[in-house]
């Protein structure tokens, strides 16, 4: 568990953030991860959220298979004629400027630890100029008092902030209630998560996925805020992406296979036959690199975000070269935060940015957006996936 969010004076006492060129408030103390399940007597939602954080942070819920980004071999440029300082990583996502093409993907909320995680990571995203995603707002719909666990605007007044809700939940909600939930947390945009795999593997999860597309159409037409649709580790195919773009969705996070497996996480929480089904399907999904390559080749009219196993600056560069506009990460940021507090998460993200800058120079590209034009060779299993793109 991470200790409650530290005030500034505490930050000075423990030296937090002062060794960086930007100041980030540090949690007072961070106890290293212990791979335990939450106490069985804890309320259901608290228990589920705690289990998710514990299992995900430990890596026990990660895919064994690769996201295939290693199949993108960028071609070295021995005569770059560039200074590292000239490399520009700035970009836009849904019209908002980012200092680097990175987003901290939606993770959590609804619990005390979730509140600390949201405020700490949002503050880091603000300082680094990245986009930030809240975890699913569902807990605060059931219990309005939990809204505080998603409210990060004091820590991150100008971060590009995504509120997050599942499609099944949104289908049950009036558009004006969705708008109120976003208003309540000060979100700029809505992230709609698709998670049929997770729900089927989750004890007591949803079984009825009808009406989703009509909901997405309605929200695109009436919400008055930009919408990004994301998967949660199983990936988005070209047919689904085209359908979403035709419905008016301007951004899609593919959240492909190869990073966090939600079927895998739920399999670890389930019992009996349900756990067996989860174990059988824990590697289910389209690898992240295949999704991005497919969507770019299909000319899908939406901004593409790549998440699912992006772990290094080189991974990020490879995803951008395939056609992503921005990359997003969840598990490694959470793991770094649990390991070494705000300092650890900041250092981790700064390392991704640094690595991405180096790769831009090594392929001779001054602007990160030009990575999409950098010469590359597609190797191994990824070559097969890209050669057999379904229509
Ligand atoms: C997630 N993810 C997620 N996604 C979402 O849309 N709403 C949510 O509430 C959550 N919650 C959540 C909790 C934890 C602990 C993790 C690790 C992840 C999914 C996440 O946003 C992302 O799409 C996938 O995890 C793939 O990225 P990584 O983890 O491989 O970098």
Q: Cα separation of 298 and 36, whole Å?
A: 43
Contact 115, 140 (CB under 8 A): no
**Closest residue to atom 4 of ligand 1, CA basis:** 106
Ligand 1 nearest atom to the CA of residue 136, by list position = 9
330 lines ligand 1 (CB under 6 A): yes
Could you tell me if the CB of 163 is within 6 A of ligand 1? no
3-state helix, strand and coil shares in percent for the chain, rounded to the nearest 5: 45, 15, 40
Nearest to 90 by CA among 98, 79, 102, 82: 98
The CB of 216 under 6 Å from ligand 1? The reply is no
Ligand 1 contacts CB of residue 230 (under 6 A): yes
Whether 329 is in the pocket of ligand 1, judged by its Cβ within 6 Å, is yes
Given a contact cutoff of 8 angstroms between Cβ atoms, the answer to whether 287 and 85 are in contact is: no
| pLDDT < 70 stretches in the chain | 1-43
CATH number assigned to the domain covering 9-387: 3.20.20.70
Atom of ligand 1 nearest to the CA of 67: 30
Tokens of 37: 């399940």
What pTM was estimated for this model as a whole?
0.90
Q: What is the pLDDT of residue 384?
A: 98
Q: In this predicted structure, what is the pLDDT of residue 42?
A: 57
Q: Judge whether 320 and 351 are in contact, CB under 8 Å.
A: no
Looking at residue 41, what is its pLDDT? Answer: 52
d(CA 330, CA 262): 12
Task: Establish whether residue 341 lines the binding site of ligand 1, counting it when its CB lies within 6 angstroms of any ligand atom.
Answer: no
Atom of ligand 1 nearest to the CA of 106: 21
């Amino acid at each position: 568990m991470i200790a409650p969010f530290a005030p500034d004076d505490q930050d000075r006492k423990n030296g937090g953030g002062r060794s960086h060129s930007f100041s980030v408030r540090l949690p007072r103390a961070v106890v290293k991860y212990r791979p335990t399940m939450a106490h069985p007597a804890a309320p259901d939602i608290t228990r589920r959220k705690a289990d998710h954080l514990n299992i995900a942070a430990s890596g026990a819920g990660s895919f064994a298979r690769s996201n295939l980004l290693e199949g993108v071999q960028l071609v070295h440029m021995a005569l770059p004629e560039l200074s590292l300082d000239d490399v520009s990583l700035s970009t836009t996502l849904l019209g908002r400027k980012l200092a680097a093409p990175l987003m901290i993907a939606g993770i959590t909320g609804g619990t005390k630890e979730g509140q600390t995680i949201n405020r700490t990571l949002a503050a880091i995203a603000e300082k680094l100029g990245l986009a930030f995603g809240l975890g699913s707002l569902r807990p605060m719909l059931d219990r309005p008092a939990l809204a505080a666990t998603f409210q990060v605007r004091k820590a991150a007044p100008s971060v590009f902030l995504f509120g997050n809700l599942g499609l099944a939940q949104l289908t049950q909600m009036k558009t004006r209630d969705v708008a109120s939930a976003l208003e309540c947390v000060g979100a700029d945009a809505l992230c709609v998560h698709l998670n049929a795999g997770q729900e089927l593997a989750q004890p007591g999860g949803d079984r009825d996925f009808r009406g989703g597309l009509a909901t997405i159409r309605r929200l695109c037409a009436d919400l008055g805020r930009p919408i990004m649709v994301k998967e949660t580790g199983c990936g988005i195919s070209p047919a689904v992406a085209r359908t979403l773009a035709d419905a008016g969705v301007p951004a899609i996070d593919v959240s492909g296979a190869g990073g966090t497996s939600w079927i895998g996480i739920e399999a670890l929480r389930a019992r009996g036959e349900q756990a067996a089904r989860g174990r059988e399907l824990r590697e289910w999904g389209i690898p992240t690199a295949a999704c991005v390559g497919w969507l770019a080749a299909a000319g899908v009219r939406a901004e593409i975000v790549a998440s699912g196993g992006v772990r290094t600056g080189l991974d990020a560069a490879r995803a951008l070269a395939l056609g992503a506009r921005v990359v997003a990460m969840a598990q490694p940021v959470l793991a770094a935060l649990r390991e070494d507090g705000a300092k650890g998460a900041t250092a981790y993200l700064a390392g991704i940015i640094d690595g991405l800058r180096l790769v831009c120079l090594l392929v001779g590209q001054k602007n990160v957006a030009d990575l999409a034009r950098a010469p590359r060779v597609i190797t191994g299993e990824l070559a097969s996936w890209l050669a057999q793109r379904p229509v």
